[in-house]
Structure formats: C-alpha cells, structure tokens
Amino acid sequence: MNSTLSSPPWTCPFCALLCDRFGVDAGETLKPAGTTCPRATRALAQFGSAPSQATPLVNGQPVAVDAALDAAARWLRASRQPLFGGMATDVAGTRSLYRLANACGAIVDHAHGRALMHGLTALQDRGAFTTTLAEIRTRADLIVCVGSSAPSTRHPEFFARCGVGERASLQREIVFVGGGIDPALSGTASDGVSTRAIPLQGDLYDTIAALNTSLSASLSARPPRGLHPELAALVRRMLEARYTAIIWTPADLPGEHATLLVEGIDRLLKTLNRTTRAGGLALGGDDGGATVNQTLTWLSGLPLRTGVHPGGLAHEPHRYDTARLLADEAVDALLWIASFTADLRPPETAVPLIVLGHPGLTAACTDRSGPTVFIPVSTPGIGSAGHMFRADGGVVLPLAPVYADSLPAVTNVAASLASRLAEVAA
Amino acid sequence: MSTFRLRGGRVFDPANGVNGQIADICVRDGRIVELKPGECAGHEYDVSGMAVMAGGIDMHSHIGGGKVNLARMLMPEDHRLRTREAASNPLELASCGVCTPGTLATGYRYAEMGYTAAFEPAMIASNARHTHLEMGDTPIIDHGAYVMLGNDELFLRMLAQGTDFERIRDYVGWTMNATKALGVKVVNPGGISAFKFNQRSLDVDEAHVHYDITPRQVLNVLARSLTDLGVPHPLHIHASNLGVPGNIESTLATIDALQGLPGHLTHIQFHSYGNEGPRKFSSAAERIADAVNANPNISIDVGQIMFGQTVTASGDIMKQVRQADYASPRKWIAGDIECDAGCGVVPFRYREQSYVNALQWTIGLELFLMVKNPWQITLTTDHPNGGPFTSYPHLIRLLMDKSFRDEQLARLHPDVAQQSPLGSMTRELTLDEIAILTRAAPARLLGLRERGRLNAGAAADIAVYRENADREAMFTAPEYVFKDGELVARNGRIVATPAGGTHYVEPEFDRSIERTLEDYSDHHLALNFRHAAIGRDELCSCCNGGRLLPAACGLHHHDPHDPSGQQS
C-alpha cells in the first residue's frame, strides 16, 4: 500500500499543521511515507495496517456496542452536571457532540483547554494581529520565535511548511528569543537563512515588556534607555523588516498568566503595524483543539469552556477547566473524547466516565476503579473521513481515510447517545 | 403529498406584476401550484387581512466564515445578551449573540422574521470549506457565498504580467467552481494585497506599490470575466476607500471603470461621503443616486447603519486597521491570509449624538429614498457592519413611515438633524416596493429563478404578515413562514428546523488553467493543490445534507428596462 486508498492526498491529523504532502505506508503498523516527522511516525505507529477489532467495555467487561451506548446514555441522563472533556475530534464529531451537550446540559472543555485559553482570553480582551503559513512562506524576511521551546518540538514540520531555506531569493533571518536555535534549521544556513538566539532579559514576561518599551520609544524618537543591546537591536531589525512573523507555542508559555504574554505580543505586533508589516502565529490547537473551538463558536456563539444550562449558555474560561471542575467535584459525569491517539488518557476521577477513544486506550479503561464505559472509535484520517482546522485559523482540510474502519466515528456514537436521550424525554 | 392553500391574502409578488391583489396561493410538495378554486387542498390557511410575499432574501449578510467566527470570539459580551432564548423553545439548540449570533441563532432569527435565504458576501477562497461548514450549520434558510478575488497574489501577478484575458477568466471560472460560489466579490480592489506591502491607501487609479496595476484594471477584468462566464450575479464590489471622507470620487470612478458592464456596489452608504462643510464630512447621497439612476447596469445595496453596539468584520484590512483606533470596546483583530486576502474585525458603537454616525444614518436613508428604480437597490445593513439583520423590521418602518422617520431624525446630532435633506423627503416606500427591495430584486440580481416570486412552479418560500400600521411590528413576527412548503415559523416562533440548501454556480472554463494554478500553489502556498477544490459530495457533507441548488449560467443579466423593472 502506498499513500492512500482514496484519490485525494492524505492529510495528517496528528498535529495542527495538517501536513498534506506525504502519504502512509503499511507494515505491521502504519508509518509515514515521504517525511521523517517524529510526531506523525509516533502517532501512526499506534495503528495496525488493518482496522482495529477493539470492543466496547462496561466496567472492564467486553459488551456489544448497544449495551455500552445504553449504559452511557443512562449515566448521562442521571448526571446533574456532565462534562465533555478531551474533545479530540473533528468538525462532524463536534457538531454531534454539541447536539448531545444540548440534550444533557453539558459543559465542554478540551484536553488542551488551558493552553487554548491563553490565546482566547487575550483575544477577548485585546484582539490579535495574525498571519498564516503561506504569508510567512511568501514574505516573512524576519521570523521571531518567542519562548524556551523550539517550534519544531511540537510541530516538527513548521519551518519546512514556511518554506524556510527553499528560496535563496528571499533572505530570511530567524531569531530565537529565550530559546536556542531550533535544531530543525541545521543545514539551512547556506540557503539564504541566518539564525541567532537572544537570551531573556529577566524572564519572558520582562523580555516582552522590554521589547514593547523599546519599540514605543523608537517610534516616539525618544532614545530607549537602559535596554539590553540585543533586544534594542531586535526592535530595530523588526522596524526595518518588510514583514516580521512572530511565532509562539501556547502550550509551552511559562507561568500561570501566559495570557499576559500573548497580550504583550499582540501589543508588539499592533505597534509594529503602525509603520511596517508584521503578523503573529500561535502554534496550538492540536488534537482537534482549533477545530472544536471554531465549530463550537459558530454553533453556539461562544467558544470552548462553555456550558449548555437550563437557563442558557454560560462561558467561563477559567472556571470550566477540566482539572478544576473534577477537583471541585462540580461535575458528576465525564464524557472523554480522544479519537486521534492513545496519548490523551482520561484524567483520574471517581465520577462515572465514558470514553470515546482510540482503541489503544482499552487497557487504561479496563483497570479503573470507578464506573467506566469505553467505546473504541474511528480516527478521522485513518478509519474515516472528516474536516479539521489548521493552526493558523481559516484553512480547513479534508481528511481522507487510509482504510474503511470497523469502528464507529465519534459523530455516530454521539448521535446514538443523543437519540437515546431523546427517546426517554419523548 | 402535502398540499395547502393560503386563502384570501393580499399578494405582493412584484416579479409577476402582482401588487396587493387578493388571491389564493397554493402549494404542493414544496412548490407553488395552480389549484382551481374548488379543488381540494389538504389544508387551508385563512390569510385574509394578511400580506403574502415570497420569503425574504438577504443578498449581503456576513453569516459565516473566518472573520465572522473571529468576531464571535472577540465579543463574548455580545453573546451574554441573548443566552436565555433557547431555553424557551425545545426545537432550538442553544445559540446566542445579537450582532454576531451563532449560526444556529442566525437561521432561527432570519426564519422567524420571514427570511428564507441569506448570502455570505465575502468568502475567502482559502477559507471556503469553513464558510460552507458554517452556512451548513445555519438552519432553515438557503445560503450561498461570493468568493473574493482581486487581492489574491496569483490574480494580481497574472494581471501584472499581461496574461491573456482568457486565462484570467479561466482562473475566475475555476475559483467559482472550486469554492462552490454563487458570485465573485472584489474588496478594495488590490488594496488588501497592497497593505501586505505596507501601502496604506489605494485609489481607483493609483498603482499597487508592488504589482504596478490599478484597481481600475482589476475591476474591469473581473467584470468582463463574469460577463463572459455567464455568471448571473454581476461583480459584487466593495469599492476603494471605504469610510473615507470624500470617497464619492472613488465610487464614481469605480462605476466608470466598469465601462457599462453590470456591477453591484455593495454597502454603498459607506462609499457615499463628501468632504464639504466645517467637519469636512458630508453626504454625497444625491450624486450616488444620480449615478445609479443614470446607469442601469449598476445595482446597489445600502448597508444602512443602525444605532447601538455592533462589530464590523471586513476583508478590507487596509481600512479596518486605519479605523482600529475608534474600536469600541477597544480591541480588534486583523490578519493577513494565505496570499489570498485579509480580514479586520473592529467592534463599533454607532451613536445618535455623533455627528459622523448621525450623518451615516441619514445618508443610507437618503439613498433608499432617492434611487428611483427599486429593482436597482436592495435592503441591507451589511450585517453586522452597519447593524444586525434583526434590525430590518425597524429599517422597513423607517422607509415606510415618514412621521416615524422624522421622530428618529429629531433625536440625532442637531447639526445633522437640521441640515439633512432627509427631513424634506416625503417618499414612503410601499409594500410592493419593500417586496422588491427584500425579495424580488435580490433574487433577480443573483439569478435565482425559482425564488423571490410566487408564480406556479416557484419554490414555496413564503412569508405571511398580519397587516399592522406599525410596520416594524408587522415585519418582526410574520404569522406564517414556509420554507420549500414546510411551515417553519408561526407567529415569530420556530416550529421546524429543516436544513437549508446551497446556491452556487458552475461556470464552464478551460481546465488547462489548473497546471498554472498547481505550479503557483506548489511554489507559494501552504496547501496541496489537490485539496484546493470542493467537490459536490464534500459540499454536501459540509452543508449537513442540505440541498445543492446550482443556478444556471449563461443567462443574460437582467435588463432593468423590462416590464417588471418599470413598476416604480
């Protein structure tokens, strides 16, 4: 088997870059063809070359899917405040889960909710100035990567997707603020790419503030005083650049108040755009985070960390945090969706747990003390078609399956649960 | 087989020259049919004393896609205002917001006020799947979108290189097919791209700083392309210099650039500003109206502003960044998008006591009242940019009721209230004219041959309004609303939520253009070209199984001198 069984090219669903120029080979497990991306390799290795035969479980015992659905529906019905967590799914899954959330009055959070909220609350308070992969590829002569972790740590193909090193005609400088030079860039130095790393001045919060101070001073013709010379030089470089792209990875931003960092970057970008051009890109939204946030926002009007309550919708970016709700015993049932990999294990909890998950979560769902329903589901892009959002916002890619799955898709399971809840209500 | 009769209503069907005559309208299996007076219908609705019209059609409303969803994310406070509504109707899923409602609420609110179709006017090609996904989650109403061209780097590059017109036309045809668009919109022609090269303004005959082409060239080539391709909807134009005092000259130059080809100038209120008077900001509505009256190839929608909080969401990043300092509340989003387009989202509160806002309000109403042929003008607020679509009943009352209009005018900034010619305008639009502005004209301008009309064979999208001298109340909650013959709203309450259909066109073009596109994509974009096009099956899954409604191409554009165009 080379590439895929269907005619459109394959889209990799395992990080929010959604690479669509490599294929899938089958051995004992699946593996990528045409890339060495470690993230894709690791994720594909979690799938056999043929559809999984995993069976549903209720409290560790194998059951027919209908029995598992009946139990899950019973628990959701009995719950006074259910939580939908994980939410690693595609557009179709989110559509059906939102219907189900309406039927049982659920709160919806995502496995990466905390990292997503850095960007979302900054957006709600200040806004944003954004750019996309093709814009960076075409015009960014300066790329500034902010934070201690290199972009390729979580998104190995990032620089390749931006065309770094492919075109000698576009001279680029890539600057790492507070981190080392990304090892993914080794070997690109001769191709019109120069790199350097600038240490933090204080912590990252201090450094972003210093950059803003220096930039404002530069624009008002007041000589900035007492500034770290390397940061001052970076500000001058950003003002000279035709197009600066600022890149950060929300999941790796330090501290409890990373929203303030994103706000600081927003201020930097908007000030730069008064005289030159610049845009920001957050490398987040993996495991369907970007997809679910977009879909939930258009359906309900409100983004993730929203609850459907009898009195209407409530959006609580801080309070509706999965870990916090479970610790406070503010929810009494958890529906955990993890359809992409077995890496998103459900959190430890004593409340009734329903997992719609990758077959690799079977063991984790067998050895639990609390009541547990496990329904293995199809992975979009492996066993079923689907749609997902790329990290940079507006681009949606179709996912083509590698094989026709024996497992149901999340959207089918959620629809079955919703119809069971509706039957009782009727 | 479901058959019903609406008995004894006053029918307003301007597409068929019916102006308030008492007649029965009969429906079988989703279509309007002729039934003899005695012929049995499964159900009869007594609609005597009510006005019967085709379902409303909003041809310019930002209902779905990237910037609309960004606007929702930016404005959680807007969404806290209407969080309780869903609880009152078990048929509605929870969905909230006033100026940028969720898609579910968008469908419900449109349908319950008698609208059965709305069209997203600014679909970015690289964002087309997202746009169709959102529209597919907008229940009940039909939908469609105009794809943005004229700021994508490939188009500008082809134009700059002197590429044969036929090749550019093929690219336009390919783009409409690939994105399943109903029309083409150009936003600040060339200007969104120019901003990426740090150019801060671009007038119709100014050169793009990088490509050295002018907006005039962009407009002309796009308009010719659509004429050649036989696309029913004329080029949808968001002209240069939106919101800038004195932009009347740009707007008139834009009309001139079309050289007599059909063009639709959208939210023209924002493009009708003079720079006279002590504040260097004045109404140029009369000159615009004169130009529309003199150029039958031109149609417009108004983009009326309504006082209160809203959020402006536009592809015109150049102009949105320029006015971002006026954001209220003070937060805003801008973005450069995929060598294709851009967006700017800026919240705004229009205030009666602001000279500028008051003048904008009067300019919009002056345009409505000064354009002579109602087939050349359609009713919009450029939702949400001038105000939310839910304010249409209020706007209709302003147009139909001079004393009400004068009361509102008196509340405005005194300089505007005293100087505006609006106070001396006595015209009150009739129900027939409202039916043209809100259904018949949009349907014709979009090439929807079975919508916006009530003759036998037409789709049974019907709104029935109980007569009320208070036109705002009358148009807020129609007695009955039917979508394809199904009763979907009763007295302002949703009673069924079918999936709406998608209107689009599939113009013919030479497929050899795909080699050029693939080569460009491989070298500049961030997507496998084989993923660029949306097929019919995929569209179906995006749109929740709603019907696919391809409109025929190759029809001639409407002639405003035909009989139905001369009723005013």
Q: Are A134 and A273 in a shared domain? A: yes
Q: What is the pLDDT of residue B339?
A: 97
CA distance A199 to A19: 32
Q: Which of B72, B74, B538 lies closest to A298 in CB terms? A: B72
Determine the structural domain holding residue B383 and report its residue range: 53-494
- Choosing from A282, A313, A332, the residue where a domain stops is A282
Site from A4, A300, A308 to mutate, B interface, most B CB atoms within 10 angstroms = A300
Q: Are A350 and A419 in a shared domain? A: yes
Residue B109, in any domain of the structure:
yes
Residue A321, in any domain of the structure:
yes
Determine the structural domain holding residue A350 and report its residue range: 51-112+287-425
- Choosing from A231, A256, A282, the residue where a domain stops is A282
Q: Are A128 and A275 in a shared domain? A: yes
Residue B6, in any domain of the structure:
no
Residue B35, in any domain of the structure:
no
Residue B523, in any domain of the structure:
no
Assess B508–A contact: CB distance below 8 Å, yes or no. Answer: no
Residue B232 has pLDDT above 50, yes or no: yes
Q: What is the pLDDT of residue B563?
A: 40
Cβ B102–A298 below 8 Å, yes or no?
yes
Cβ B336–A313 below 8 Å, yes or no?
no
Cβ A294–B69 below 8 Å, yes or no?
yes
A134 contacts in B (CB within 8 Å)? 126, 338-340, 524-527
Residue A32, in any domain of the structure:
no
Assess B76–A contact: CB distance below 8 Å, yes or no. Answer: yes
Q: Which of A126, A130, A301 lies closest to B335 in CB terms? A: A130
Q: Are A300 and A406 in a shared domain? A: yes
Q: Which of B95, B134, B525 lies closest to A300 in CB terms? A: B95
Q: What is the pLDDT of residue B37?
A: 76
Cβ B127–A394 below 8 Å, yes or no?
yes
Cβ B526–A161 below 8 Å, yes or no?
yes
Residue B180, in any domain of the structure:
yes
Domain count, chain A: 2
Q: Are A325 and A412 in a shared domain? A: yes
Q: Are A148 and A74 in a shared domain? A: no
Residue B293, in any domain of the structure:
yes
CATH number of the domain to which A150 belongs:
3.40.228.10
| Percent of chain A with pLDDT strictly greater than 90 | 89
Q: Looking at this predicted complex, what is its ipTM?
A: 0.97
Domain count, chain B: 1
Residue A14, in any domain of the structure:
no
B226 pLDDT band (50/70/90 cuts)? very high
State yes or no: cis peptide before B90, omega within 30 of 0.
no
Residue B524, in any domain of the structure:
no
Residue B155, in any domain of the structure:
yes
Q: Which of B126, B196, B333 lies closest to A395 in CB terms? A: B126
AA letter at A156: P
Residue A234 has pLDDT above 50, yes or no: yes
Residue B501 has pLDDT above 80, yes or no: yes
- Choosing from A265, A282, A299, the residue where a domain stops is A282
Q: What is the pLDDT of residue B223?
A: 98
CATH number of the domain to which A103 belongs:
3.40.50.740
Cβ A138–B64 below 8 Å, yes or no?
no
In three-state form (DSSP H/G/I as H, E/B as E, the rest C), the secondary structure along chain A is CCCCCCCCCCCCCCCCCCCCCCEEEECCEEEEECCCCHHHHHHHCCCECCCCCCCCEECCEECCHHHHHHHHHHHHHHCCCEEEEEEECCHHHHHHHHHHHHHHCCEECCCCHHHHHHHHHHHHHCEEEECCHHHHHHHCCEEEEECCCCHHHHCCCHHHHCCCCCCCCCCEEEEEECCCCCHHHCCCCCCCEEEEEECCCCCHHHHHHHHHHHHHHHHCCCCCCCCCHHHHHHHHHHHHCCEEEEEECHHHCCCCCHHHHHHHHHHHHHHHCCCCEEEEEECCCCCCHHHHHHHHHHHHCCCCCEEEECCEEEECCCCCCHHHHHHCCCCCEEEEEECCCCCCCCCCCCCCEEEEECHHHHHHHHCCCCCEEEEECCCECCCECEEEECCCCCCEEEECCCCCCCCCCHHHHHHHHHHHHHHHHC
Q: Average pLDDT, stretch A122-145? A: 98
Q: Average pLDDT, stretch B232-251? A: 98
CA distance A365 to chain B (A): 32
Residue A358, in any domain of the structure:
yes
Nearest C-alpha in B relative to A316: B76
Q: Are A123 and A269 in a shared domain? A: yes
Q: What is the pLDDT of residue B85?
A: 54
Q: What is the pLDDT of residue B81?
A: 65
Site from B346, B528, B534, B541 to mutate, A interface, most A CB atoms within 10 angstroms = B528
Q: Are A79 and A93 in a shared domain? A: yes
CA distance B100 to chain A (A): 8
Q: Which of A95, A131, A298 lies closest to B335 in CB terms? A: A131
Residue A15, in any domain of the structure:
no
**pLDDT tens, position by position, A364-422:** 999 898 999 999 999 999 999 999 999 999 899 999 999 999 999 999 999 999 999 99
Q: Are A240 and A349 in a shared domain? A: no
Stretch 300-359 of chain B: residues touching chain A, C-beta under 8 Å? 321, 324, 327, 331-340, 345
Q: What is the pLDDT of residue A134?
A: 97
Assess B85–A contact: CB distance below 8 Å, yes or no. Answer: yes
Q: Which of A134, A387, A397 lies closest to B525 in CB terms? A: A134
Q: Are A256 and A400 in a shared domain? A: no
Q: Which of A129, A277, A303 lies closest to B196 in CB terms? A: A277
**pLDDT tens, position by position, A289-333:** 999 999 999 999 999 999 999 888 999 999 999 999 999 999 999
Site from B103, B143, B337, B522 to mutate, A interface, most A CB atoms within 10 angstroms = B337
B562 pLDDT band (50/70/90 cuts)? very low
**pLDDT tens, position by position, A151-190:** 999 999 999 999 998 876 789 999 999 999 999 998 766 6
Q: Are A93 and A122 in a shared domain? A: no
B558 pLDDT band (50/70/90 cuts)? very low
Q: What is the pLDDT of residue A191?
A: 75
B243-275 residues labelled b (16+ CB within 10 A) or e (exposed): bbbebbbbbbbbbebbeebbbbbbbbbbbbbbe
Residue B566 has pLDDT above 70, yes or no: no
pTM, two decimal places: 0.97
A229-238, B29-38, B401-410: range with lowest mean pLDDT: B29-38
Q: Average pLDDT, stretch B285-308? A: 98
Residue A6 has pLDDT above 60, yes or no: no
Q: Are A374 and A409 in a shared domain? A: yes
Q: What is the pLDDT of residue B554?
A: 84
**pLDDT tens, position by position, A130-140:** 999 999 999 99
CA distance B567 to chain A (A): 41
Q: Which of A248, A308, A251 is nearest to A279 (CA)?
A: A248
CATH number of the domain to which B129 belongs:
3.20.20
CA distance B556 to chain A (A): 35
Instruction: Give CA torsion, residues B413, B419, B425, B426, to 10 deg.
Output: 70
